[in-house]
């Protein structure tokens, strides 16, 4: 197999001082280009989504995953690879990721991948991660956004972890690397992950490799680096089709999907009154108080006894 030879501006990063013993990390970041949610409409005749008029962006949650990957690489050294599945028009968005700091980019692109639900998508991405691993001497970590802004299922990261047969942690906030007590597993390294759960948090320790989804509150994604732009614009993006990935054709695209869309509708959003109140603060407060008393009744707005 041919390894991607495209040079990066900086090459493989050396670990930061003090972390040399524990790095480096090869991190694969899954990103998706999505239409801006508010610009998508349903074509009521064809009952399909009309994305044509909508502008496209890197899924916002995936930018947090990329930021976490870049920060981990800055700390421990190593390499950040971008992985996406979609048509060739996704390539410019991969270049944005390269300009933000990623070292290389891979696109899984084939007509046979189209119409995939999360079952088929997670399978196809897993085949991509495995091949990246084979060609680069292995991967340590896969980072995903917590969910996409279009489908919002949050199902791909755990599905991907299962196809890869590796542990997972969803909604990761802070991640660090630590040495394992016994060196037998994970090349002597483990991941310490703080994740959000309902009403609190968990701290987990898991072996590498692993799949994490990154909580959107975990960080503030960096802007692209202007100095990297010329390189990113010309960098080689590796494109693999179904044959190159040696996928099972029954597991990809529409054919490999277990779910079907029975109907698509533009959501009715008329249930709220959407009354706009403007005025002086006193006028606004008076109007609001009337609304509140109407909703809760006078009895519920009783003051507590002063304590």
Partner 1 sequence: MTAAKTTTTAPGPEPLGLSAYGAGDALGLWVWLEHHGGVLENVGRELLGKGRLLADQLGAPLVGVLLGRREDLLVPAAEAVALAADEVVLVAHPLLAQYTTDAYTKAFDRIVRAEKPAILLLGATPDGRDLAGRLAVRLYTGLTADCTDLAIEPQTGLLLSRVAGFGGGIEALIKCPWHRPQMATVRPGVFATPVPRPPAAGTGVIRELAVTLTPTDVRVEVLERAVLSGAGLGAAPAVVIGGGGTRGDFRLLGDLAELLGGQVGASRVAVDQGWIGRERQIGQTGTVVRPKLAIACGVSGASQFTVGIDAADTVIAINTDAEAPICEVADYAVVDDLFRVLPPLLAELGHRVKGS
- Residue 279 backbone zone (phi > 0: left; psi -120 to 50: alpha; other: beta): left
Complex with partner 1: residue 15 or 256, whichever CB lies closer: 256
CB of 117 to partner 1, least distance (A): 7
Query: Distance between CA atoms of 139 and 142, rounded to whole angstroms?
Result: 8
The number of angstroms, rounded, from the C-alpha of 201 to the middle of its chain's C-alpha atoms is 20
Rounded to 5 degrees, φ, ψ at 139 are -120, 155
Complex with partner 1: residue 182 or 250, whichever CB lies closer: 250
Strand partners, 177: 191
Per the CB < 8 A criterion, the answer to whether 30 and 178 are in contact is: no
Query: Distance between CA atoms of 217 and 196, rounded to whole angstroms?
Result: 10
Query: Distance between CA atoms of 103 and 80, rounded to whole angstroms?
Result: 5
Complex with partner 1: residue 24 or 157, whichever CB lies closer: 157
CB of 51 to partner 1, least distance (A): 9
CB of 90 to partner 1, least distance (A): 18
CB of 215 to partner 1, least distance (A): 8
Complex with partner 1: residue 12 or 48, whichever CB lies closer: 48
Token pair listed for 22: 């524990």
CB of 12 to partner 1, least distance (A): 28
Query: Distance between CA atoms of 189 and 50, rounded to whole angstroms?
Result: 47
CB of 256 to partner 1, least distance (A): 7
Per the CB < 8 A criterion, the answer to whether 110 and 254 are in contact is: no
Complex with partner 1: residue 15 or 209, whichever CB lies closer: 209
Complex with partner 1: residue 103 or 110, whichever CB lies closer: 110
Token pair listed for 140: 């340590």
Angle of CA points 22, 27, 30, to nearest 5°: 160
- Residue 25 backbone zone (phi > 0: left; psi -120 to 50: alpha; other: beta): beta
CB of 25 to partner 1, least distance (A): 18
Complex with partner 1: residue 137 or 281, whichever CB lies closer: 281
CA atoms within 13 A on the CB side of 118: 15
């Amino acid at each position: 197999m041919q390894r991607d030879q495209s040079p990066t501006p900086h090459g493989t990063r050396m670990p930061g001082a003090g972390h040399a013993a524990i790095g480096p990390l090869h991190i694969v970041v899954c990103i998706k280009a999505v239409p801006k949610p508010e610009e998508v409409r349903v074509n009521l005749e064809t009952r399909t989504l009309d994305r044509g008029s909508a502008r496209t962006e890197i899924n916002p949650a995936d930018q947090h995953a990329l930021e976490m990957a870049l920060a981990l690489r800055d700390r421990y050294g190593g390499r950040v690879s971008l992985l996406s599945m979609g048509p060739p028009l996704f390539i410019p968005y991969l270049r944005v990721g390269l300009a933000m700091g990623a070292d290389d980019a891979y696109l899984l692109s084939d007509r046979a991948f189209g119409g995939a639900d999360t079952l088929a998508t997670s399978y196809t991405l897993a085949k991509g991660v495995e091949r990246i691993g084979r060609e680069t001497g292995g991967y340590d970590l896969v980072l995903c956004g917590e969910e996409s802004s279009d489908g919002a299922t949050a199902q791909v990261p755990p599905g991907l972890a299962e196809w890869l047969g590796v542990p997972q942690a969803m909604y990761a906030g802070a991640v660090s690397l630590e040495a394992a007590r016994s060196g037998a597993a994970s090349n002597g390294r483990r991941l310490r992950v703080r994740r959000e759960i309902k009403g609190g948090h968990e701290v987990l320790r898991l072996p590498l490799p692993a799949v994490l989804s990154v909580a959107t509150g975990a960080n503030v994604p960096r802007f692209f680096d202007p100095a990297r732009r010329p390189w990113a614009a010309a960098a080689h993006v590796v494109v693999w089709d179904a044959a190159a990935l040696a996928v099972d054709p029954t597991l990809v695209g529409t054919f490999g999907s277990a779910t079907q869309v029975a109907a698509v509708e533009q959501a009715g959003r008329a249930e709220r009154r959407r009354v706009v109140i403007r005025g002086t603060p006193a006028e606004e407060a008076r109007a609001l108080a009337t609304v509140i008393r109407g909703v809760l009744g006078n009895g519920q707005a009783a003051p507590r006894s002063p304590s």
